Structure 1
């Protein structure tokens, strides 16, 4: 059965709630703060009402900082619109998936069945977003992940989008940087075999590095939660690679970097967007310095969209935005832009199918992380940046465009 046929019961319920939702909006329903729930409603064109949008993020657990940053970016985008698109109130409903697959599926089912969301922004990690996407694909609800980069997330799915580039591109970016900018002839890779994000990056880097004439002299692995990597790193030190690719999040990478230097690894350390957190330096110390990683965004970028975003984020939260905050901001704005275009065309912005169709037609959207158009798999076509780890934090090095 198609997703649309599964949605008839839900749409029938929504139709019965239209009058109540309009009355609530007229009495001041909605507002600037994220809600814990609410009833969606509205009609076509300029009718007005409330549109519920889910924000599914890991706000507790291993990568809670990533979830908080992404949530803050998304909420800022909605707040800047006054929680309104046209005559419709945008009601963000935030749920904590705890970076746990079972919890994430339960939370997204609640967003769909109880909160009647038209779309979900989330989640952060590919490990969580993949099972969540399967639920939303079956239910016919739009999903746009700000940050999940696993290649397998979007292909073959009608309802699933992302605001970030995907792992194959990141791996290619870092392989190209290693070969052309660092003149690396040999590479080693140490990855988390239990994490699809890490495994996908490893495979794309390895293939691209070898295709460009480099030699991968050692590949080794560990599992999420491991703390001692010295055995693998000792073997890598014996192989003496020019670069060591560490495709994982900042917390294991910081520990790996320290242990790598302890056992004599002299290679330049390379990574991907999972490195993007200030705690990388707390965990890695001097061992992490003078490494390089691919990312979606740099605070040093000079485009007008980035400058305005940085200023607004600092004013709202009292700190500089990370790339994840920028992606959360772009994901929310992509969704709001699609809703606006549905309204402008006289459509019904409470209908997820119409929002999906508008998202598919996105071309040349000016985001903080780049100018975004979606390809046939709902992946954005945009640039990546390479950053260096320094004693003063991340330093912009170069921009790499898709080929």
Structure 2
């Protein structure tokens, strides 16, 4: 009897210890983000946005608590693929927010397709990210649409009849956006005088800029990320260029102004949205909470990250399931969902929403308006 009692006590202890393991009350949502490396500002803004929106809308879905698991992909394509594998195989996440940039989304994409776990990017815009994919999504517009919008703005609003393009060939996003801009601009009747190239991490752009300035374009188009754009603007102004410079959504980070300083004054760029005036109730709550918590103006990348979290939670609720395959199907069926940046519909993995244009003025990026693509 004594031995049986000891065994009974041991069994009771074992059951008590095991309850948290076998009675899991949490569901994991992963984040595959660029927290360090060349575009760390994007990952950090996205992470801020996710953590803030979790405070606002809560972390409970279908009776379970959301556990947020962040992995740093170091702004590297190989690391992004490794992060996706770790989040799915080891952490057992049901969905992934990120990566931020297109090249890393493309690297992680095949893993998510094979393992049937959805990933949704706040900011990647290359059309290939979602093309023929069932498990890759985005919360923003695609490069083909943005490129045409930027071309139209340059030709019609900036009255540019000639442009020069300086594109980062190391980044899929930059190459694609530059190509779509070129195609759209030439269809409108504009002349692309030259397409010059640089690589992520370059510090000297004098050779490319000298070639461009000798051709005297009405506009220089920079379909790059904020670091290279800021440095190019500084060197262009130092070399005496006084003309207009236009960029894409990769410009939309406070670091553009921190690095570029006075050289980016007057710089135009297309963007995902504006954070001054919310289009939805949840958007206003997010912007107000951001200002209160960080004592600074919210960035649109963080708002788009908040959109990703709202989209995933909404999909889980509509699917009434924590099965990643069912969550992916529900994300694809998202229609007119109110998120922080407005209303969003997902179609073939892509978000349907407007393109806005901003200009740096007085050390701030100010909204100029929206572009209606013809």
TM-score, length of structure 2 as denominator length: 0.91
Q: Which residue of 2 aligns with 1:399?
A: 370
**Which of 227, 237, 242 is the aligned partner of 1:251?**
227
By how many angstroms is 1:76 displaced? 1.9
Q: Which residue of 1 aligns with 2:126?
A: 150
Moved more, 182-191 or 104-113: 104-113
User: Is 1:309 matched with 2:293?
Assistant: no
Q: Which residue of 1 aligns with 2:171?
A: 195
User: Is 1:83 matched with 2:55?
Assistant: no
| Cα distance in structure 2, aligned partners of 1:383 and 1:20 | 54
User: Is 1:139 matched with 2:139?
Assistant: no
| Cα distance in structure 2, aligned partners of 1:58 and 1:185 | 37
Kept in 2, the 8 Å contact 1:54–1:121? The answer is: yes
TM-score, length of structure 1 as denominator length: 0.85
| Cα distance in structure 2, aligned partners of 1:96 and 1:334 | 22
Kept in 1, the 8 Å contact 2:39–2:75? The answer is: yes
Moved more, 71-80 or 234-243: 71-80
By how many angstroms is 1:59 displaced? 1.0
Kept in 2, the 8 Å contact 1:85–1:339? The answer is: yes
SS in 1 for 2:224: coil
By how many angstroms is 1:21 displaced? 12
By how many angstroms is 1:86 displaced? 3.0
Q: How does 1:231-242 map to 2 (within 5 A)?
A: 231-242=207-218
**Which of 338, 341, 345 is the aligned partner of 2:315?**
338
Consecutive unaligned residues of structure 1, counting only runs of 5 or more, are 1-18, 25-38, 43-48, 344-348
Kept in 2, the 8 Å contact 1:382–1:401? The answer is: no
Kept in 1, the 8 Å contact 2:38–2:201? The answer is: no
| Cα distance in structure 2, aligned partners of 1:259 and 1:281 | 14
By how many angstroms is 1:391 displaced? 1.5
User: Is 1:213 matched with 2:184?
Assistant: no
| Cα distance in structure 2, aligned partners of 1:215 and 1:208 | 11
User: Is 1:93 matched with 2:65?
Assistant: no
Q: Which residue of 1 aligns with 2:261?
A: 285
User: Is 1:161 matched with 2:132?
Assistant: no
The one-character-per-residue Cα deviations of 1:360-384 (angstroms, maximum 9, x if unpaired) are 1111011222311111x21011111
User: Is 1:105 matched with 2:81?
Assistant: yes
By how many angstroms is 1:287 displaced? 2.0
Q: How does 1:321-400 map to 2 (within 5 A)?
A: 321-343=298-320, 349-375=321-347, 377-400=348-371
By how many angstroms is 1:74 displaced? 1.3
**Residues 1:186 and 1:96: Cα distance change in structure 2 (over 3 Å):** same
Kept in 2, the 8 Å contact 1:69–1:321? The answer is: no
Kept in 2, the 8 Å contact 1:146–1:330? The answer is: yes
Kept in 2, the 8 Å contact 1:382–1:402? The answer is: no
Q: Which residue of 1 aligns with 2:104?
A: 128
By how many angstroms is 1:311 displaced? 0.3
Length, aligned pairs only:
359
Q: Which residue of 2 aligns with 1:12?
A: none
Kept in 2, the 8 Å contact 1:299–1:310? The answer is: yes
By how many angstroms is 1:67 displaced? 0.6
By how many angstroms is 1:165 displaced? 1.0
| Cα distance in structure 1, aligned partners of 2:273 and 2:372 | 13
Rg larger in 1 or in 2? 2
By how many angstroms is 1:91 displaced? 0.9
**Residues 1:259 and 1:56: Cα distance change in structure 2 (over 3 Å):** same
**Residues 1:203 and 1:310: Cα distance change in structure 2 (over 3 Å):** same
By how many angstroms is 1:223 displaced? 1.5
Q: Which residue of 2 aligns with 1:271?
A: 247
**Residues 1:292 and 1:21: Cα distance change in structure 2 (over 3 Å):** farther
The one-character-per-residue Cα deviations of 1:331-363 (angstroms, maximum 9, x if unpaired) are 1101111111122xxxxx221111111111111
| Cα distance in structure 2, aligned partners of 1:267 and 1:186 | 12
Give RMSD over aligned pairs: 2.0
**Residues 1:21 and 1:240: Cα distance change in structure 2 (over 3 Å):** farther
SS in 1 for 2:304: helix
Consecutive unaligned residues of structure 2, counting only runs of 5 or more, are 1-14
By how many angstroms is 1:58 displaced? 1.1
| Cα distance in structure 2, aligned partners of 1:142 and 1:21 | 33
**Residues 1:186 and 1:402: Cα distance change in structure 2 (over 3 Å):** closer
